[in-house]
Amino acid sequence: MDRQIIIQATNEPNESKAEVGKTVTGVVKDESGTPLPGVTVAVKGTSRGTLTGMDGEYKLDLADGDKVLIFSFVGMKTQEVAVGDQRAINVTLAEDVVGVDEVVIVGYGIQRKVTSTGSVVSTKGESLEQSPGTNLSNNLVGRMPGLTAVTRSGEPGADGATLRIRGSNTLGDNSPLIVVDGVANRGMERLNPSDIETVTILKDASAAIYGSQAANGVILVTTKRGSTGKPIVTLNLNQGFNQPTRIPEMADAAQYATMLNEIGYYKSYNSKTGIYSAGRNTKYSAEDIQKYSDGSDPWGHPNTDWFSEVFKPWSGQNQQNASISGGNENMKYFISLGAKFEDGYYNNSATNYKQYNFRTNIDGKVNKYISVAFDVAGREELRNYPTRSAGSIFRMLMRGKPTMPAFWPDGTPGPDIEYGDNPAVTSTDATGYDMDKRYVLESNLRTVVVVPWVTGLSITANASFDKFFSFHKKFETPWYLYTWDGNADHKVTKGKRGLDSPQLSEDMADAQAININAYATYEKTFSDIHNVKVMAGVERRNGKRDVFNAFRKNFISAAVDQLFAGASDQYMSNSGSASQNAYQSYFGRVNYDLSKKYMAEFVWRYDGSYKFPTSKQFGFFPGISAGWRISEENFWKENLAVINDFKLRGSWGQTGNDRIAEYQYLATYGYMANRSYVFGTGEYKLLNETKTPNPNVTWEVANQANIGFDALLMNSKLSISADYFNNVRTQILIRRNASVPNSTGLTLPPENIGKVQNRGFEAVIGYHDNLGDFEYDLSVNGSYSKNKIVFWDETPGIPSYQQSTGRPMGSSLYYEAIGIFKDKAQIDATPHWAGAQPGDIIFKDVNDDKVINGLDRVMNEKNDFPRFIGGLTFNLKYRQFDLAMLIQGAAGAQQYIFPESGEIGNYYKEFADNRWTPEKTNASFPRAFNRGDEYWGGQGNTFWLRSTDYVRLKNLEVGYSLPLSANKTLGIENLRIYVNGLNLLTVDKAKIIDPETTAGTSYAPQRVITSGLTLTF
């Protein structure tokens, strides 16, 4: 249904001002003649307008050049009326029960929503702009049923979400196909949200038209285009600040020292007698612990919070976007420019991301039969990082001992935690730099010819050319840390860490992709009731990629960071590679509906991929669907008129998945390292087979079945859609190695023998209405999916409860933790691991053989990807004020959160506060321990699994637009100021880490707060 922004002046009753050319008045009524209050009357191509009063009347001052008025109201068809010489314009709005004119984007075309039979969902680009996130993939979460977006990292430039449509469907690649403006395999993450018109998801048989790459669903991104009217210039500027959503709270120095004492004490335990032979202060005295606690000796007894030492309270980010759009009947244009900057969390950070982008979308008419469109978009991405990865830095931050200083009291860097790593230093450019530059150019030329001698026939041709270039340079240098030997004058000694001398690696990649397609579309109505639309086309895609890399070390100095300055001996290396790809496809779609009551669709694609042997390069992928608008039946209208529209729909289709390693049907060979043979007087390297071929390798095949309904109630104010799906993925590539004895020495190639089933449901409920000056809409959506492996080549002889078959993908074997030993008596009475002592974790004797061993491990059927994901969106407008909110949540996932603690590193404070001690035997956590020293530390067990179910306030935006009278004074169309936030509040059970991230050892997701303005003139 069309939606318009309501604009109303304050202190001026339902009237906007302009440089008056004339005044237009009128009355707006419905088809029964009842006046309609609250109807938006807007001047097309501007932000000026008014609302009708309680009697349906309006009055609007027009400027010279104002030619068209737009009348819109919830539940009514939007009308456009040419002003001409009229001064009184009365309008009757017709009820828009089912949004007959609303369309949805599908593969290679559009469809009327009312007759669409597929499971298709979309969101407007304006909703994506409400999020201050700098990565478009993160802005999608919680907005569309069926789409799961999990943000594992918040690192600038590397903060993309993991996207899945309807959960996990294969043991291989589960990522969906991304199509931007009709071109497949373009990246979506770095698109400018201000350039997006819509994002649409194809979830069922409707995706079959994309064939071999659509098994995991399709995301269609459509960018904005110009419209008829005077030029409209929009500026959007914002400044924001980010910080981690959550960082682990660690034990302080006194607590940590106490726990190390306990470890020494526990090591003296005699399992036969149950007696500890050592004292309680095995490493630190009571005086030491007191000094750690009171801070009286910062040199010898520091109390370091490593996260506070390394992180800034807030880091900066900003975005600037400018666009101009407009045109006439013969040419329309949309042009935009954008820039963004995002800083890292660290003090003196070497981490940041910069981006500059542009887009030009131009549509022109050659004559009444031929139209063309030319799109060009470009982007520069600049990433800067320290030489140590974010995972390494965060890992060291958690392992950082609070009894060691990040910096000495004189400001010099403290000693290393391990292998030269002090994250207060390695998070900066003191160790060199890691720079990544990427350049993207995307272009598309489209021509549409309406065949004049065949009514309803048109031919569309598209040609796209995309270019990608990247340059990566990593220059690593030694760095220096300082140690103190305890002398009274507090002199520290400087020591080199890391490399002995600088080293440099450079990588360059140059890639291009060409996509050419053409298709004919024929549309005709027979006898006024039979509507037919047929489309058929052909597509050719090919691409290539060239890579070159070089390495040098033993630089004399860090002053020159160029390859020539490195040693030209055995420490230098150069390499390169090249690859090509090609696809040939034929596709089509047939749509039929009878009076928009009974609908049917058939889609197909015959796809050829370079990844398979000649005899298996092509596959046929069909899809069928049907729909019944049962609400158009007389019996429904007579008895269930409260439900304005009700459509049942179902579909079945096959799609392919060719996202596998290339050329698996060919054997490859390589030289063996440090292996040679002598023949005559020569020495020759040995060759060996590096890959065993599979000459029969072919596609994965996704069999997708879907049934659902769409309903509109209360004059289309309330909408409900729901779907149930059953996807069966066959011919998944897996190895048979499990059933081949190791003694054979054989390594078999992957074969198309795996099978997975994934079932689930999804629903969305929406409501929108006006209450006087209030306009609001509310939407709730949710999706659930659960998969299971139908066939896996199991190892012979393993118990059924340890088999993967019949269980979800990602299931893992764990010992089942059932408690903590309180004392020796409980140990003696319970099957236990050899050497168990009080404070250890109790493992369940699963097979009841009174022995704890590998046969007691059971499959845990949850993994780190949620089974349920949902969202609630709420939008409210009141006069000049607006509010947008997204609450999002997920359930059904777990993370294995095991601390690297003890003498090697610190403990989570939650663990430290709730650990077992001889005085606290009812504790919820085990005793202090060294990582890996205890059986329950080195063996995976369920004690360390944490639920990552959560609900979070994902987005909140509050805005204020100036009244029209103020805009007139300033000579602008509109000025809006706003404040928004991302990941503002989270309710969950994980507690220690953000529930979306991975065990806390990666760059934490971001909480962002920004303020900005949007200026239109």
Tell me how far apart the alpha carbons of residues 859 and 871 are, in angstroms, rounded to a whole number: 31
Q: Is the pLDDT of residue 772 over 90?
A: no
How many CB atoms are closer than 10 A to CB 234? 17
- Specify if 63 maps to a domain: yes
- Specify if 37 maps to a domain: yes
* Tens digit of each residue's pLDDT (9 = 90 or more) over 595-639: 999 999 999 999 999 999 998 899 999 999 999 999 999 999 889
- SS3 for 936? helix
Closest by alpha carbon to 241, among 1013, 1005, 1011, 1008?
Answer: 1008
Confidence of residue 922 (pLDDT cuts 50, 70, 90): very high
Closest by alpha carbon to 556, among 564, 547, 548, 545?
Answer: 564
Residues 651-661 have a mean pLDDT of: 91
Tell me how far apart the alpha carbons of residues 902 and 929 are, in angstroms, rounded to a whole number: 6
Helices (H), 228-335: 253-266, 286-294, 306-310
- Specify if 45 maps to a domain: yes
Confidence of residue 900 (pLDDT cuts 50, 70, 90): confident
Q: Is the separation of the CB atoms in 906 and 250 below 8 Å?
A: yes
The average confidence (pLDDT) of the chain is 92
Question: In b/e form, how buried is each residue of 572-607, taking b as 16+ CB within 10 angstroms?
Answer: eeeeeeeeeeebbbbbbbbbbbeebbebbbbbbbbb
- Specify if 81 maps to a domain: yes
Q: Is the pLDDT of residue 30 over 60?
A: yes
Q: Is the separation of the CB atoms in 201 and 179 below 8 Å?
A: no
82: domain range?
A: 22-93
Lowest mean pLDDT among 8-17, 86-95, 197-206, 945-954: 8-17
pLDDT at 184: 92
Tell me how far apart the alpha carbons of residues 454 and 457 are, in angstroms, rounded to a whole number: 6
- Specify if 768 maps to a domain: no
Residues 693-703 have a mean pLDDT of: 93
Q: Which residues pair with 868 in a beta bridge?
A: 784, 891
- First and final C-alpha spacing in the chain: 27
pLDDT at 101: 59
Q: Which two tokens stand for residue 981?
A: 């936030």
Residues 16-36 have a mean pLDDT of: 77
- Specify if 35 maps to a domain: yes
pLDDT at 98: 47
Q: Is the separation of the CB atoms in 944 and 896 below 8 Å?
A: yes
CATH (domain of 65):
2.60.40.1120
Domains contained in the chain, number: 1
pLDDT at 998: 80
pLDDT at 20: 54
Q: Which residues pair with 643 in a beta bridge?
A: 713
* Tens digit of each residue's pLDDT (9 = 90 or more) over 283-292: 999 999 999 9
Q: In this structure, what DSSP letter does residue 800 have? A: G
Residues 6+ apart with CB under 8 A from 290: 254
- Specify if 566 maps to a domain: no
Tell me how far apart the alpha carbons of residues 867 and 784 are, in angstroms, rounded to a whole number: 5
Confidence of residue 734 (pLDDT cuts 50, 70, 90): very high
Give backbone dihedrals phi and psi of 632, rounded to 5 degrees, phi first: -85, -10
Confidence of residue 19 (pLDDT cuts 50, 70, 90): very low
pLDDT at 203: 94
Residues 6+ apart with CB under 8 A from 173: 216, 657, 659, 660
Q: Is the pLDDT of residue 457 over 90?
A: yes
pTM above 0.85, yes or no: yes
pLDDT at 97: 54
- Specify if 55 maps to a domain: yes
Tell me how far apart the alpha carbons of residues 87 and 92 are, in angstroms, rounded to a whole number: 17
* Tens digit of each residue's pLDDT (9 = 90 or more) over 228-239: 888 999 999 999
Closest by alpha carbon to 396, among 406, 384, 411?
Answer: 406
Q: Is the pLDDT of residue 746 over 80?
A: no
More confident residue, 158 or 687: 158
Q: Which amino acid is at 823?
A: D
* Tens digit of each residue's pLDDT (9 = 90 or more) over 185-230: 998 999 999 999 999 999 999 999 998 889 999 999 999 999 888 8
pLDDT at 14: 40
Q: Is the pLDDT of residue 12 over 60?
A: no
Query: What are the percentages of helix, strand and coil residues in the chain, rounded to 5?
Result: 10, 50, 40
